[in-house]
């Protein structure tokens, strides 16, 4: 199963929720030519659920998704399924790059298990369940190729979009989301202004947004990203747009 990357066309921060998590408004689009792959293979080196990959992550979100389904009542089915099989992850989406790779992997695993084990969990229930793992997973479960996203990332409204050809660049810079958001909190910002701008952006196509607004205007995290990672200034100056908290950037392909 393919786990596609996503990009943020705009990202405006508009406040905080009761947990002090940032509230946002954003346009997410699916990047269909960049994806991780999840495969079921007949290979075992240990008992129980086994994730085989060249990508090493101690707190891999796929394992958290597995445990979530177990806790939800499907432990017996999952243990039986993975008794003689393993999950292989082929990692192609760059990490710490603002592309939602981990969230997409988790969403694809949930969809894969729902199908292969015939769990018959409705999409809305699967989305609500996934919020325990992370807000961005909802977009990947929604099936949308373009959507206006709000809340902390869990409110998805499909958008019938006009998306130009985009050329992506993946700097070898690991931008840590938590740190970039923390740096944003140290800068001057106006949530009320951001909210009004975001309401306007939500009505426009991706093509219109990229043609009519500059990179700093569309993404509130570009400035804090550059402050933390000065090498990113090169992309800011040269008119690239930032996805998420970085470091992936893109331009409209001429």
Instruction: List active site positions.
Output: 6, 136
168, 97 in Cβ contact below 8 A?
no
Dist. CA 80–CA 48, nearest whole Å: 9
For residue 247, say if its preceding peptide bond is cis, omega within 30 degrees of 0.
yes
* Three-class HEC string of 180-222: HHHHHHHCCCCHHHHHHHHHHHCCCCHHHHHHHCCHHHHECCH
Residue whose C-alpha is closest to residue 29's, from 190, 163, 146: 146
171, 98 in Cβ contact below 8 A?
no
Reading the block at residue 157, the tokens are: 């409204």
* CA dihedral sign of residues 138, 159, 150, 175: positive
Dist. CA 210–CA 252, nearest whole Å: 8
């Amino acid at each position: 199963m393919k786990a596609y990357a996503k990009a943020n066309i705009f990202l405006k921060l508009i406040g905080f929720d009761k947990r002090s998590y940032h509230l946002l408004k954003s346009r997410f689009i699916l990047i269909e030519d960049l994806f991780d792959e999840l495969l079921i293979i007949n290979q075992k080196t240990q008992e129980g659920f086994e994730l085989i990959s060249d990508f090493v992550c101690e707190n891999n979100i796929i394992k958290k998704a597995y445990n979530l389904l177990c806790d939800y009542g499907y432990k017996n089915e999952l243990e039986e399924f993975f008794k003689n099989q393993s999950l292989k992850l082929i990692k192609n989406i760059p990490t710490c790059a603002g592309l939602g790779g981990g969230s997409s992997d988790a969403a694809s695993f949930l969809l894969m298990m729902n199908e292969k084990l015939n769990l018959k969990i409705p999409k809305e229930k699967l989305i609500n369940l996934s919020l325990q793992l992370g807000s961005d997973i909802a977009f990947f479960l929604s099936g949308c190729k373009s959507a206006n996203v709000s809340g902390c990332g869990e409110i998805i409204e499909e958008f019938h979009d006009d998306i130009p050809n985009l050329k992506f660049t993946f700097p070898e810079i690991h931008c840590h989301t938590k740190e970039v958001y923390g740096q944003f909190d140290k800068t001057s910002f106006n949530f009320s202004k951001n909210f009004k701008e975001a309401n306007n952006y939500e009505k426009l196509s991706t093509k219109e947004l990229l043609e009519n607004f500059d990179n700093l205007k569309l993404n509130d995290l570009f400035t804090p990203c550059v402050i933390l990672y000065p090498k990113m200034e090169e992309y800011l100056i040269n008119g690239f747009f930032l996805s998420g908290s970085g470091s992936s950037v893109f331009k409209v392909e001429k």
